[in-house]
Amino acid sequence: MLSRLSAAVVLSLSLLAVAKPIADPYRGLSNAQRLSRGLPIAMPRNLRKLSNRGPSKAYEKRHKPSSTPTSTGWCTTGSAQCCESVESASNPVAKTLLGLLGIVLSDLDVLVGITCSPINILGLGLGECWEKPVCCENNDFGGLISIGCSPISIEL
């Protein structure tokens, strides 16, 4: 009896190994059509091929900027900032802040913006500046202090 059972098991397993799987009758349907019929979504095919190809030329052409933004003319050395105060680096308050941050300046006549935040150059909406609008070089330290500032006028 055991020899018959094992022979039957071996025969059925070998038939299952060479049997061709039944094709999915819903294979050509889109995922929207599959979901409308209560079927699960179909997994993407050929993922390995897609991941090795990279972006197509058409994709690269569509996803490049049409032009490079130009300078507004307001700030040619950095960004427009709105500072609570603008002091000379020789000012005691500015000296203390610079010292706490470990910044050593050779030129103490340079203007330093204290508690600055970036502003929209047009001064619209939340970007309005009611304090001191300045143009600072790109060397600010978390909004606490900005070095190399020049006062600007943003009146329209």
pLDDT tens string 102-148: 888 888 888 888 888 887 655 444 556 777 888 887 677 777 888 88
Q: Is the pLDDT of residue 3 over 70?
A: no
Question: Where exactly are the structural domains of the chain?
Answer: 78-151
Q: 56 versus 106: which is more confidently predicted?
A: 106
Q: How confident is the model at residue 70 (pLDDT cuts 50, 70, 90)?
A: very low
Mean pLDDT of 45-73: 56
Is the pLDDT at 25 greater than 80? The verdict is no
Those residues with Cβ within 8 angstroms of residue 103's Cβ, 6 or more apart along the chain or in another chain: 141, 145, 147
End-to-end CA gap in the chain: 100
Cα–Cα dist 121/153, whole Å? 10
pLDDT: is 12 or 22 the higher one?
12
Q: Are 82 and 122 in contact (CB under 8 A)?
A: no
Judging by beta carbons within 10 Å of its beta carbon (0-12, 13-18, 19+), is residue 152 exposed, middle or buried? middle
Tell me what the pLDDT averaged over the chain comes to.
73
CB 148 within 8 A of CB 109: no
Residue 1 has pLDDT above 60, yes or no: no
pTM over 0.75: no
